Chain A
Amino acid sequence: MSNIATIQEADVHGAHETHHEHHHHETFISKYVFSQDHKMIARQFLITGMIWAIIGGLFSVLFRLQLGYPNSTFPWLEDLLGQWAKGGKLQPEFYYALVTMHGTILVFFVLTAGLSGTFANFLIPLQIGARDMASPMLNMLSYWFFFLASIIMFSSLFVQTGPASGGWTIYPPLSALGDASSGSKIGMDLWLVSMAMFIVSSLLGGLNYISTILNMRTKGMSMTRLPLTIWALFFTAVLGVLSFPVLLSGAILLLFDRNLGTSFFLSDIVVNGKILPNEGGSAILFQHLFWFLGHPEVYIILLPAMGMSSEILSVNSRKPIFGYMAMVGSLFAIAILAFLVWAHHMFVTGLNPLLGAFFVLLTLLIAVPSAIKVFNWLTTLWRANIRFTPAMLFAIGFVSFFISGGLTGIFLGNSALDIHLHDTYFVVAHFHIVMGVASFMGMFAGVYHWFPKMYGRFLNNTLAYIHFWITIVGAYLIFWPMHYEGLAGMPRRYYDFSMWESFKMFTGLNEFISFVSMIVFAAQLLFVFNFFYSIFKGRKVTTQNPWGANTLEWTTPIRPGHGNWPGEIPEVHRGAYDYGKDGREFIPQTEPVGEHESHH
């Protein structure tokens, strides 16, 4: 195989890196900017994702100010946002722009690119035993397309008519007609172009992840010995590769409708007194295209967090993950079902009831593999010997939020109940808990766990514990009461409830939620500070395997160079979860199976 050539080449490169680590200034661009090293690309994704997370989080704090204090004005808001907040009060157009950008940023730029981009890049080669990705070049392009998408999206914040403001789901005709909303003017075109670049990035990344996992595993690393992180990232990539192109097609058709006078999504429209000539299109068609991506997207966000939490729970429980094959099987089932449930977002669009019934059935079917995963995680903790590293706490937090948010999915997936709860705060609570907070918990778990591998230093533990406790308590305080607002039918995406007899009694609660959200946001800044401070000043990692884990990344040098292993890539002899076996605390994957070792 050409593996040898790759290894030799990488060896040379790796040696070069380790020898000349201190005077690399001539290669600054190739090392830090246009790097083809998967670990550097992962860090680029992570840091870009963190910047986006701060922006997206800040947006939510700003619009929560309006929701929590609808009768107050904040003069400093005008200083910050200019005409968006005339007289210190956020204008409705820009309230909706902030809501839209918050959703877009968090769903795509943070929890897709920031999460998959970081951990797929970082962990796949390290955990399967490869020098780098199948195509380091495409991998680099994947980041730079993401960067380009980021620049375009960011620039849309500064156009005079404002960024897209029709919700992150950009349903036409609202998103198609500049006459219907100022956010549907140039801001919407920028949104669509940015998203097209984003999809290119995600496809380049996804293809790379899949081919790397399938082709470049080290000797002995059969698919059934892969750590669950890799399985999760594998299914994530498959979901992305199969579903993102559909959104791309939807985005392109929408661009045509906007700019070239086509009528894919437009029919019988009178807007602002203007009678449009478009006839025969279907606004609902777009929703099918959107949710064909949109639903798998939920799992694109969730699966990496599931995989990492599984790994971290097992490592810190000092126990094998319970039911490895069932965990892989349930990931597979979730990945398949993710493609077959998209129309459960469309129960109130006038969908054919019979078709709706199938989507109810398939949607609730997802609860079965989800239940398997939850019970397997719980059993992993049973009779364990748990170390509460910050990563472990976040992994436990992940399970808690996954349960809470998953169960409310049973309400929303059942169409008859969905009719009442659809587009209310119940939905806001549901998806924020299950894919927002839970995924963030998984992502934080991953960052705390692999930070030592990324930077050769530890994050400050005390700050980490403070970060965890404020986040888990705060997130429940924010989202738990929202279920009650939703049960009262309180619609989401409202700028002000004071004129509504049915909803205005929640004013006090809204203020409380807004207040807590500010504290939680501040706690995230603690994390950001801890992150950047620890890169330079954190306690140094002194042992190769600080967590006592079995997987291959902990057999590399403390700070692996390009090529990951200075010598040969180790051979794998067992699965990743031999913790506590035969009285031994852990048995690395590289250790050959002993003659007297028990079989399971």
Chain B
Amino acid sequence: MTQILLIAIVVMIFIVIFQISKASEYVSVLKGEEKARKQNNKINAFLLISFLILGIVGCWWCNELYYGKTLFPQGAASEMGEKIDLMLYITIGVTGVVFFITQILLFWFAFKYQERDDRKAYYFPHNTKLELLWTTVPAIFLTVLVVFGLKYWFKMTGEAPKNSVVIEVTGHQFGWEFRYPGPDKILGKKNYKLTKGANSLGVDFNDPASLDDMHVPATVHIPVGRPVKFVINAQDVIHDVGLPHFRMKMDAVPGIPTTLWFTPLYTTEDMKIRTGNPNFVYELSCDQMCGKGHFSMRGVIIVESEEQYRAYLATLEPQYWTVFPDKKPKPVNAAPSTDTTGTSKNKSPLAAIMPQVK
């Protein structure tokens, strides 16, 4: 019933608008077309200048409402991210000035130079000096922005520092999996043809380096203050590791591993305080359209202190044991979660996070 009413109202509005428009055409014939045209001209000129003023107020208002919801008031959560934010502010500053000047000129000229009987348009077909001016000034500003941008670009995309924590991230429809390299700090080889059952990443366990690797789904723990390098894979289609708080992003492409690195500055607990949001959590969003569950492809990153991180790693078992339960050491020494001194034939997972010496 309400739907029919709604449709009826919409149709009514259409009819009213149409009738008014039709009537205005007759009125303009009665009044004289030239006179009606001039009146329309004045109305539209007034509307254009009003639009400018309301638009500027609107920009300010929108900023009041939503600036606080962007990630910028809370600051970037990575070292590089802080520089990116600075660069963003500079770009907003430069483009903002250009935006307001050009938009104000556009609508103000439109209003000021609306048709008047006593005015003739000024014949002004070109002026080389002016044209050179607005070729070179933008070029100079852009050069500055490019230099700024490329400096950071090379830093961000360059080699990760040697002391980075390396973690493998794998995307698939529709979730994330992570693999820690274990005490040997080397991620074991993979072969996608081995993907089966518990070996969901296709790890090649003939490679000794893979025996101590640890596999966790959906949630990854990383230490604060140390560079973290993600080695990124995808199993089926292209995904994307989006880390908005760290201002980082990298595609996950089947068959072509990619990497990204960043240095987290604040633990998850710190961020709860900084944002005033007790539910705060670092989220990993899939940012490349990957199918019907794209919007639900959520990962969680827990940034914690070095000690908490070590304690967490100590609770993990090598994936080798999960895939081949019979290889798991017998109960005597099979409690790596409680016994972190490492009595299994694999080195203790603890070694993975021993202070790394360069």
Instruction: Give the B-binding residues of A (Cβ under 8 A).
Output: 76, 91-93, 96, 165-167, 171-174, 177, 180-182, 266-272, 275, 279, 281-284, 317-326, 348-350, 353, 356-357, 360-361, 364-365, 367-368, 371-372, 374-379, 381-388, 393, 396, 399-400, 403-404, 407-408, 410-411, 414-417, 419-420, 422-424, 460-463, 465-466, 469, 472-473, 476, 480-481, 484-485, 487-489, 491, 493-497, 499-503, 505-506, 509, 522, 525-526, 529-530, 539, 577, 579-583, 600
Contact = CB atoms under 8 A, between A and B. Distances in A.
B314 interface: no
20 contacts: A96-B292, A180-B236, A182-B292, A319-B122, A326-B131, A348-B250, A353-B153, A357-B150, A381-B109, A384-B121, A388-B44, A417-B149, A419-B247, A419-B249, A423-B242, A476-B55, A484-B70, A488-B71, A501-B280, A502-B285
B145 interface: yes
Given A167-B289, A181-B291, A275-B192, 20 more contacts: A96-B292, A166-B291, A181-B292, A270-B192, A272-B173, A382-B124, A386-B45, A386-B115, A414-B149, A416-B152, A420-B244, A423-B240, A462-B20, A463-B17, A463-B18, A489-B245, A493-B289, A493-B294, A506-B69, A580-B121
Nearest to B258: A350
Given A283-B238, A496-B295, A500-B298, A385 B121 contact: yes
Which of the listed residues A270, A461, A472, A485 has the most CB atoms from chain B within 10 Å of its own CB?
A: A270
B171 to A, nearest CB: 12
B337 interface: no
A360 to B, nearest CB: 6
A378 B254 contact: no
B113 A360 contact: no
B168 interface: no
Contacts of B156: 416, 419
A423 B288 contact: yes
Interface string B45-74: 101100100010011001100110111100
B99 A383 contact: no
Contacts of B121: 317-319, 383-385, 579-580
A356 B154 CA distance: 9
B48 to A, nearest CB: 7
Given A420-B247, A487-B70, A489-B244, A92 B149 contact: no
Interface in B241-267: 242, 244-245, 247-251, 253-256, 258-259
A393 B195 contact: no
Contacts of A93: 292
Contacts of B124: 319-320, 322, 379, 382-383
A473 B116 CA distance: 27
A360 B123 contact: no
B146 interface: yes
A270 to B, nearest CB: 5
B298 to A, nearest CB: 6
B125 A388 contact: no
Interface residues of B, number: 120
Interface of B: 3, 10, 14, 17-18, 20-22, 24-25, 28, 37, 40-41, 44-45, 47-48, 51, 55, 58-59, 62-63, 66-67, 69-72, 81, 84, 87-88, 91, 94-95, 98-99, 102-103, 105-107, 109-110, 113-116, 119-127, 130-131, 134-135, 138-139, 142, 145-146, 148-150, 152-154, 156-158, 172-173, 192-193, 195, 202, 235-238, 240, 242, 244-245, 247-251, 253-256, 258-259, 277, 279-281, 283, 285-296, 298
A403 B55 CA distance: 14
A484 B240 contact: no
Contacts of A372: 131, 134-135
9 smallest beta-carbon distances between A and B, as pairs: A489-B244, A267-B255, A350-B258, A462-B21, A383-B122, A484-B66, A414-B149, A388-B44, A494-B295
Contact of B18 (A353, A473, A529): A529
Contacts of B103: 400, 403-404
Contacts of A495: 292, 294-295
A418 to B, nearest CB: 9
B99 A404 contact: yes
A327 B195 CA distance: 58
A410 B256 contact: no
A580 B249 contact: no
A244 B260 CA distance: 34
Contacts of B259: 350
B285 A364 contact: no
Contact of A396 (B110, B138, B146, B290): B110
A592 to B, nearest CB: 19
Given A403-B102, A407-B95, A466 B17 contact: yes
Contacts of A282: 255-256
Contacts of A503: 285
Contacts of B126: 322-326, 600
B278 to A, nearest CB: 11
A41 to B, nearest CB: 30
Nearest to A487: B70
A360 B150 contact: yes
A414 B145 contact: yes
B286 A416 contact: no
B113 A349 contact: no
A378 B67 contact: no
B151 to A, nearest CB: 8
A408 B116 CA distance: 36
Nearest to B126: A323
A106 to B, nearest CB: 17
Contact of A387 (B41, B102, B142, B289): B41
B315 to A, nearest CB: 25
A91 B249 CA distance: 28
A270 B254 CA distance: 9
A279 B192 CA distance: 10
A400 B106 contact: yes
Contact of B238 (A173, A270, A581): A173
A171 B289 contact: yes
Contacts of A284: 253, 256
Which of the listed residues A324, A348, A399 has the most CB atoms from chain B within 10 Å of its own CB?
A: A348
A361 to B, nearest CB: 6
Nearest to A399: B106
Nearest to A582: B123
B47 A469 contact: yes
Contacts of A491: 242, 285-287
B157 A356 contact: yes
B115 A387 contact: yes
Nearest to B280: A501
B250 A378 contact: no
A290 to B, nearest CB: 12
A33 B24 CA distance: 36
Contact of A462 (B24, B41, B120): B24
A526 B60 CA distance: 31
Contact of B149 (A283, A415, A465, A502): A415
